[in-house]
Amino acid sequence: MKIGFLLIVLSAFFSINLINAQSYEGKFLEANYDESLVPEYTLPDVLTTFNGKQIKTIDDWEKIRRPEIVEFFEQNMFGEIPVPENQIKKSFKLISEDKTLLNDLCTRKDIQIIFENDKGRVTMPLALFIPNGAKKPVPVILLANGSDITRKGLDLNDSQRFGQTRNGVPLHQLMMRGIGFATVDYQAFATDRNDKEGKVSGGITNLFFKTDQDFTNENEWGMIAIWAYALRAGMDYLETDKDVQSSQVATLGCSISGKVALWAAIKDERFAMTLLATAGHGADAIWRREYGETLDNMCKYLPTWICRNAKKHATNVHEIPVDQHCLLATMAPRPLYISNAQHDLWADQKGQWIGTFNASPAYNLYGKKVAFKSQKQPPINQPIIESYIGYHVRSGVHGLELYDWERYMEFIEYHFLKIPIRSINEVYSKNK
């Protein structure tokens, strides 16, 4: 148990340090990892409004319940995007295009996304990979990513890795399946300065500030919302690319990037799907279990990730009128896939399943099939693919692994391409 705990702590620690190279003494050690210490709790009903109205129709869900859930999270967790004092001009520039990757299997396009007004200019790179053999626009996974483009994480690995990039993207298999891949360096929009009071400034926020404003207001965007806005800017470009089926773009993120990917898709319904890997609290794990990361812990150690209003709820999560299952439910009726790892105690994989299961009533309202047979958590390494909410818990620890990628590809094929689940051998043999 001690070895397993150490691996969990280290994996979570290093994932955070991809974003902010600091140590957080006590952050992981203060957490509860004992199931016997989980308090009793009652989850808010997804289909009951704040004033007690039962939601029975899609119309009431879309006009009443969904908006109040999203607004609560916007004002009390992630922060709203302010209205800029001066209009922002957005443009795209093709930097390079290489049609010869993987022995002419795919094309890589490098794009510069530009935001500017009289207060400044911010640029962000986007990389897009498209299979050359596609006869029509392809679905695309848009990965929430932090600096891997500039650090050459998207360069191809050695030949024995079968077309994987250095950061683990199974590019060759994606192209063989006819699925495009894109990613943005969201840290180009803003870097986390980890201000102890949760005040955010710099980057894209400067373009939105009012005269004499030096940092974000209490209800304005934290880093998760800022980086989610970067994904939405990526979607703005993808809509213009003739090789992309823009109605079939899925956001993907792991850990903090999972929170980013989820919030981006919730705020922007152009995204047709969301794929989450060990995203945890602030995404798919419920706060009320107070297991692993807590809202109080996040406000204490990572106060800039969320808006400053979140501090008001840090020590009374049982009084919040929502929990993360409500947020997941606002993805309905779009396909949603949640994955986690058996030994990821920090992200509370049990709490992730509870969040996943309890989001399903919103999908049922739309008549969308959710293939959960009971509240019991599915077994390890037995994925649920043929469902509007897909799910797996794999063996191992925190992170995004090939096992996860292959389940996401199957999920995309099932929902977007109408291809039944197939083995890896079938994928490669069909394309010989």
Question: Looking at residue 282, which CATH number applies to its domain?
Answer: 3.40.50.1820
Cα 183 versus chain centre, distance: 12
- Output the pTM of the full model: 0.93
Where b means 16+ CB within 10 Å and e means fewer, 309-320 reads: bbbebbeebeeb
Tokens matching residue 214: 């030096």
Whether the CB-CB separation of 372 and 384 falls below 8 Å is answered with yes
Q: Is the C-alpha dihedral spanning 237, 239, 241, 247 positive or negative? A: positive
Cβ neighbours of residue 384 closer than 8 Å, sequence gap 6 or more? 371, 372, 378, 390, 391, 392
What is the residue range of 211's domain?
2-430
Per-residue pLDDT of the chain (432 residues; tens, 9 = 90+): 444 444 444 444 334 333 333 344 568 888 999 999 999 999 999 999 999 999 999 999 999 999 999 999 999 999 999 999 999 999 999 999 999 999 999 999 999 999 999 999 999 999 999 999 899 999 999 999 887 787 788 888 877 677 889 889 999 999 999 999 999 999 999 999 999 999 999 999 999 999 999 999 999 999 999 999 999 999 999 999 999 999 999 999 999 999 999 999 999 999 999 999 999 999 999 999 999 999 999 999 999 999 999 999 999 999 999 999 999 999 999 999 999 999 999 999 999 999 999 999 999 999 999 999 899 999 999 999 999 999 999 999 999 999 999 999 999 999 999 999 998 889 988 765
Do residues 246 and 269 make contact, with C-beta atoms less than 8 angstroms apart? no
CB 249, CB 258: distance < 8 Å: no
- What is the tally of structural domains in the chain? 1
